[in-house]
Amino acid sequence: MNKTVAQTKKRKEGSWNEGKSYAINNGERCYKTRHAWSKAVIRHYGNACQLCGWDKARCDAHHRVPKGQGGLHTIGNGMVLCPNCHRIEHEEGRGD
């Protein structure tokens, strides 16, 4: 397949995972955008706060190690928090 045909096919069909993640550290997925990471964390852990158990409405994804301190967009570096627990985590300076 020549280069222009391959480029046209890629543009038309998109890459296999739409460029949202790539493998690191023995196959762990690192997500390129915060949005893709957030959706993956909530899909993995479910939509219930991991601190208080609240599940009445949409919860947020939260970085255990903030991006500014070298944390990555990985499932292992994420947790699901209700809006109240998420606000408290940020006010107390624990994470991003």
| Tens-binned pLDDT, residue by residue, of the chain (96 aa) | 555 655 554 444 444 455 666 667 677 888 889 999 999 999 999 999 999 999 999 999 999 999 889 999 999 999 999 999 999 999 987 655
State the pLDDT at residue 29.
Answer: 86
CA atoms of 13 and 15, how far apart (whole Å): 7
Overall pTM surpassing 0.85 (yes/no): no
pLDDT given for residue 92 in this prediction: 87
- How far apart (Å, rounded) are the C-alpha atoms in residues 64 and 69? 10
